[in-house]
Amino acid sequence: MKQYIDIAVNLLSPQLADKMDTVISDAIDHQVSPLIVIGSDIEESQQAVFSCQQYPNKLFSTAGVHPHHAKSWDNDSLATITTLAAQPQVVAIGECGLDYNRDFSPRNQQRDVFAKQLALACELNMPVLMHCRDAHDDFIDIVKQYRPHLPAALIHCFTGDEAQLNACLAQDLYIGITGWICDERRGQSLASLVPLIPNNRILAETDSPYLLPRSMRPKPKSSKNLPQYLPYIVDSMATLRQQPITELADYCYNNARDFFNLPISMLEK
């Protein structure tokens, strides 16, 4: 039986937070478990840990500050993330990185906060879950400084071009693929790159509740993406790669387990 781990779920977003029980149970019914809950700022990272404690072994989380929130970084942020990272439910530092598309935080602050979180991940010997949008050159330059000392690093929701993919792979990054590849309007360029990702570096994610796969049939009544749709994304990836679905599902599952250092005994509970 195929198993799946959704490596990026915005479970505390307003679209999902009040339906957490249902989202988790529906995902389990589709063999998607555990879910990795994204912490995008200090408060959300704290809430993510609390949620994980309510759903042991069904939820794990990250702790970090997204580039959108870099301007909120203060003198206590690093210590707070360090404390959160000591919790057994926290399996990566992040979501951190750069976003020059919207510039919700000044770029110099984004770069500074990103570097601080990478340095922390190195110090704690923890993997890092990263975001990059329209900031590839600066992103790679910063990652290069810390990559030799990071146990593992992931660029989640990758949407770059072939040269950017190759640059990420040259840094031995894991590559997170979403339902963006199922969008016939905007996702075809990315879809063409999916076969180029090595088996040992490919990961699947929903980025729920965002990026509902447009090609799903029957089309869900709601435009809200859900972790239970992850098998559809993996099937779509397998078709693009001309790879047996079961084989790719196994690679994605095992890569996620290895990246987040999730013990098999923990997943069996």
What are the structural domains, with CATH classification, of the chain? 4-267 (3.20.20.140)
Looking up tokens 């063999």 gives 31
Tell me the two tokens of residue 170. 């040259």
Residue type at 199 in one-letter notation: N
What one-character DSSP code corresponds to residue 241?
H
Closest CA to 207 of 154, 264, 251, 263: 154
What one-character DSSP code corresponds to residue 269?
-
Cα gap 89→11, rounded to integer Å: 15
Contact 125, 118 (CB under 8 A): no
pLDDT reported for residue 36:
98
Residue type at 19 in one-letter notation: K
Mean pLDDT by 10 residues, the chain (269 residues): 96 96 98 98 98 97 98 98 98 98 97 98 98 98 98 98 98 98 93 98 98 94 96 98 98 98 69
pLDDT reported for residue 263:
81
* Residue 160 CB coordination number (10 Å): 20
Is 23 in a helix, a strand, or coil?
Answer: helix
